Amino acid sequence: MTQPQPGAPAGAADEDRPAPRRVLLAVHTGRADIVGLARSAAARLAEAGIVVRLLEDEAEAMAVPGAEVCPFGPDAAHGVEVVLVFGGDGTFLRAAEMARSTDAAITGVNLGRVGFLAETEPEAVEEMIAAVQRCEYAVEERLTLEATVLDAEGRPTGEGTWALNEVSVEKVERSRVLDVVLEVDGHPLTSFGCDGILCATPTGSTAYAFSAGGPVVWPDVEALLLVPTNAHALFARPLVTSPTSVLTIAVPPDGTRARVSADGRRVVDVPDGGRVEVRRSERPVRIARMNPTAFGDRLVAKFGLPVRGFRDARSHGPGHEAPTGRTNVLTGDVNTSDGALRTPEEVGGGHPDGKA
């Protein structure tokens, strides 16, 4: 750090001094264990000389001495290097609203259930904080979507939105069926009645689109997904299109109310007879990666996928094959039918007490 020189004008040292690093915390304050973990992280960051920033609606619960406090909004992450998320994917998506309009990268501790967006597990928080302190992380740019709502005359209504996971065009009234016409790049593709249509990103392919039967797409793949939800049609398969495609969902002027839901957080009404155009947004969301874990390994760990062939487990007789699910991908151990966790060698050698 530059020290004032003899005869230097007042403030000269401040002009040469590098701006302090800042980290914004986004915390699910509804759980005491999450708040405690976030407080510990804030203390570590402050000790390293990093300025900690909190949101107004979370500052009281966090009670971090000396922290900056700001309101939730697009300016909350201004001047911030990293947004640290303590919570589940919902908290992460909230943080993305603040970080998207800045150069801040987002990373998080998964304290929800599945948590594909927040990749760090609670037991690795110390390593994550150390990586932030030493700037030892890589930044990925994740594709986002832009949704434009048009009226029955094809004029933009002025109400649009964006999404990191998915844009859902859905019916408002539970008792009605939403009739839609789908177009890709201005060419009509098909039409049917349904509950809605999901336009998803590769990042969002493990979220709502996955539950609706869509494919899992690696996040570094550039593509757009179109996934119908509960379609009453013979041809209603999920589609994967070019990242430059424009996906259009048109609704008829029959009085059935429809709306756009972006990441389950932002809602825009679709006028009667209107349509929604979904395309790749020019502004991505920046994700900070603290460890080199492959997406496939995370997929196996999150869903407990069996990664050993079914023939690798010793047969317990017809109809009683030993299950190989819930495999520990770190050790390679296998859960056998008696509930014990055994190594592949033990499974191949049979039951320790001689049973089949």
211 has binding-site annotation? yes
Is 312:324 a contact under the CB 8 Å cutoff?
yes
Joined together, the tokens standing for residue 253 give: 């002027």
Tell me if 265 is assigned to a ligand binding site: no
The phi, psi pair for 257, rounded to 5°, reads -80, 135
Residue 209 marked in a binding site:
yes
Strands 105-110 and 82-87: parallel
Asked whether residue 110 is marked as a ligand-binding residue, the answer is: no
Q: Which of 89, 179, 220, 333 is flagged as catalytic?
A: 89
Residue 206 in marked binding region: yes
Confirm whether residue 210 is marked as ligand binding.
yes
Q: 94 a known binding residue?
A: yes
- SS3 track for 180-206: EEEEECCEEEEEEEECEEEEECCHHHH
Burial 339-348 (b: 16+ CB within 10 A, else e): eeebebebbe
| Catalytic residue flag (residue 333) | no
CA 111 and chain centroid, separation: 13
> Does 308 appear as a known binding residue?
no
Assigned token pair, 226 = 């179109």
Is there a binding annotation on residue 130?
Answer: no
Is residue 165 marked as binding? Answer: yes
Shortest CA distance to 243 belongs to which of 308, 301, 185?
A: 185
**Phi and psi dihedrals of 12, rounded to 5?**
-65, -40
Element (H, E) at 324: none
Rounded Cα–Cα distance for residues 354 and 350 (Å): 7
- Distance of alpha carbon 334 from alpha carbon 272, whole angstroms: 55
Nearest to 136 by CA among 100, 172, 105, 182: 105
Helix (H) or strand (E) holding 32: helix 32-47
Closest CA relative to residue 199, chosen from 209, 191, 189, 190? 209
Determine if residue 179 is labeled as part of a ligand binding site.
no
Residues whose CB is less than 8 angstroms from the CB of residue 219 and which lie 6 or more positions away in sequence, other chains included: 140, 142, 202, 203, 295
Binding residues for NAD(+): 89-90, 94, 165-166, 176, 195, 206-211
Binding residues: 89-90, 94, 165-166, 176, 195, 206-211
User: Among all residues, which ones are annotated catalytic?
Assistant: 89
